[in-house]
Structure 1
């Protein structure tokens, strides 16, 4: 295994980024993904009920929870980024992944403020915030694909094949 590949598999800080072969970033991203998917379900459901206030307010708070979760995931994700050798295809993929995620997080933070300050929390979600949520969630799908490519294709922060083979011994 080349030294660059080995470097990308080892944490910059075991205590902050997670131990070898078991990074923290992938588990943290489930918070914003789950919150933002649920917020869109609430948004769409608010369009179909007679009293949408609970769904509209719930969606706004799910967006806020997602933003906080994304910030936590980003901090740990930066540590994973530092493990990847600069100038590599994996590093360029990680930069695009990070840039998309930061843009998505800003979009959701703006969406939260738009909803909070725009009123209408007793009505169905307005078309503008709804469209922003759909677009941000679509971008999140692209970014998630890139994150999967980093882990499953390039093996960033994944144990090397010798270590993985231990799980298949009788």
Structure 2
């Protein structure tokens, strides 16, 4: 299938962008956007851990909440583009059910990180917030599960992945 192939099956529709804003065929924008929140949220955990072992944790505590805020902004952007891909999935399909769980987990992760941010902003900057740290660990654990489901959507169900005929171009 190439971009000019008719969209007559649910699988073919799920591989195509709903709009050019979602990214070109075979190269969606959602997967690259998720690297922002994942990266900064993992970095915030690392900064929290460092904050336990240094004499003055203030810069690490501050950096952690700034990274969480950046992650929240990045997550909103990733969610917008992910939702564009979600809308291409046929109702009642295994891919749609998996995507619904993936999306729900991610929304939960955002809520937990938002609560963590609020806890951190209402705490002193001179020590690591234990509650904020625990919330961050819980959110990251849920993010791992959600990421696994996102991988299942792409690598098992082929959502927004070019078809095998198009992929063969890379092996000629």
TM-score with structure 2 setting the length: 0.94
CA distance in 2, matches of 1:119, 1:81: 38
CA distance in 2, matches of 1:33, 1:127: 21
* Equivalent in the alignment of 2:126: 122
Deviation at 1:148, TM superposition (A): 0.4
Q: What count of residue pairs does the alignment treat as equivalent?
A: 166
* Equivalent in the alignment of 1:142: 145
Does 1:87 find its partner at 2:97? no
Does 1:9 find its partner at 2:15? yes
1:156 aligned residue (143, 152, 159): 159
Q: Displaced runs of 4+ in structure 1, greater than 4 A?
A: none
Cα distance per residue 1:143-169 (max 9 Å; x no partner): 000000000110000000000011111
SS in 2 for 1:47: helix
Does 1:74 find its partner at 2:47? no
Structure 2 residues without counterparts, runs of 5 or longer: 2-7
CA distance in 2, matches of 1:30, 1:74: 12
SS in 1 for 2:92: coil
SS in 1 for 2:87: helix
SS in 2 for 1:83: coil
Structure 1 residues without counterparts, runs of 5 or longer: none
CA distance in 1, matches of 2:109, 2:167: 33
Does 1:107 find its partner at 2:117? no
2:47 aligned residue (23, 42, 46): 42
Deviation at 1:86, TM superposition (A): 1.0
TM-score with structure 1 setting the length: 0.95
Does 1:60 find its partner at 2:47? no
Deviation at 1:122, TM superposition (A): 1.7
SS in 1 for 2:90: coil
CA distance in 2, matches of 1:138, 1:48: 23
